[in-house]
Amino acid sequence: MEKAIYISDDFINENTHFPALLAALKEGFSSPDILVPQRHHHDFPNPETGSDSTLLLMPAWHPAKIAGVKIATVSPENGRYDLPSIQAIYVLINAITGTMIATMQAKSLTAKRTAAASALASSFLSRKDASSLLMIGTGALSANLIRAHASVRPIKEVFVWGRNAEKAKAICSELKEENFSCTAIMQIDDKIGDMDIISCATLSKTPLVLGKYLKPGQHIDLVGAYKKDMREADDAVIQKASVYVDTPAGLHESGDTSIPLHSGILTEDTIKGNLFTLCSGEVSGRKSEKEVTVFKSVGHALEDLMAANYYYNQFTNE
């Protein structure tokens, strides 16, 4: 019987090569054999904080190969406890025998695979010469998103904004050895129109990226706002852009897409593609240098499975 190994966040942080992780995700999204049922999404009251928490169960199977499930909670008020809002664990399974072959902390797994998915989308949707990036948000995802985007585009300038200016400065300090400059800024409106790529990873309930500031050729990466009452981009962004999503199943989970769908500003027929159609070559992505593109991510169990298998192979040297 196989003995389950344990893979820590430290190992994941020290053994992430974004180009290789992107390749693993692209292989997964290109495969017709991976089975991913609808994830369980349960909100439950948290009277201690006055804000609901969310339990997510995200299974996926690659028949006769690997399977796995992520158990995650999202508690938006965890900042008051100096804890990340997302807590998670992943269980990797031998899909033939059903044996559990690995457990791993999934905080870093989630951050890495989410950043890799955004960069994978950017490889199809941002301009190839994109050299500037605005990062909105200062959570665990931010530095990962910056590094992932820089792995697919020649990023030279990065600007970071968050409601806590000290956190923005800390991210820039963390990235000081990278091959791009990183500057913490106090406000974003005058920067939005100057950036080639705008990545947003927040729990905001009001739009932060406003369409009136956008310029032709930009790419907008919307990663946060995981609930229907949360939103990072306004209607004007959606109206100006060609909209892509990570998966069709997530269309109604986030306010960034569910609110425009409900109002009729966006329809499912006008969604240009998703990571499955982009990676398989069914759709080509960006059509022109002046096109504005939006990628909305809500996360997908396929990303977790492929990332967990990537780190398992790293750990076992397979």
pLDDT tens, position by position, 45-89:
888 888 889 998 999 999 999 999 999 888 888 888 888 787 889
User: Which strand (E) or helix (H) includes residue 103?
Assistant: strand 100-105
Q: What are phi and psi of 59, to 5 degrees?
A: -95, 160
Q: How far apart are CA 47 and CA 159, in angstroms?
A: 36
35-39, 150-154, 177-181: lowest mean pLDDT where?
35-39
Q: All domains of the chain, ordered by start, with CATH?
A: 5-109+302-316 (3.30.1780.10), 115-300 (3.40.50.720)
For residue 304 the two structure tokens come to: 């977790």
State residue 84's pLDDT score.
Answer: 78
pLDDT at 239: 94
The Cβ-side half-sphere exposure at 311, using a 13 Å CA radius, reads 31
pLDDT of residue 248: 85
Query: Can you tell me the distance from the alpha carbon of 37 to that of 318, in angstroms, rounded to the nearest whole number?
Result: 28
What is the distance between the alpha carbons of residues 263 and 261, in angstroms, rounded to a whole number? 6
Nearest in space to 209 (alpha carbons), one of 148, 199, 291:
199
Task: Return the amino acid letter for 143.
Answer: A
pLDDT value of position 214: 96
pLDDT, mean over the chain: 93
Residue 185, C-beta contacts closer than 8 angstroms, at least 6 positions apart: 159, 160, 161, 168, 191
In terms of Cα–Cα distance, which of 247, 225, 253 is closest to 237? 225
Residue 1's pLDDT is 54
In whole angstroms, give the CA distance from residue 137 to residue 45. Answer: 25
Q: In this structure, what are the phi and psi dihedrals at residue 135, rounded to the nearest 5 degrees?
A: -105, 115
Residue 263 has pLDDT above 80, yes or no: yes
| pLDDT at 93 (0 to 100) | 97
Please choose, from the candidates 37, 56, 36, 53, the residue with its C-alpha nearest in 3D space to the C-alpha of residue 45. Answer: 53
Q: How far is CA 201 from the centre of its chain?
A: 8
Query: pLDDT band at 283, cuts 50/70/90?
Result: very high
Angle at 99 between CA 94 and CA 101, to 5 degrees: 70
Is the per-residue pLDDT at 2 higher than 70?
no
What the block records as the tokens of 196 is 């080639």
CA separation, residue 216 to residues 219, 220, 281 (Å): 9, 12, 25
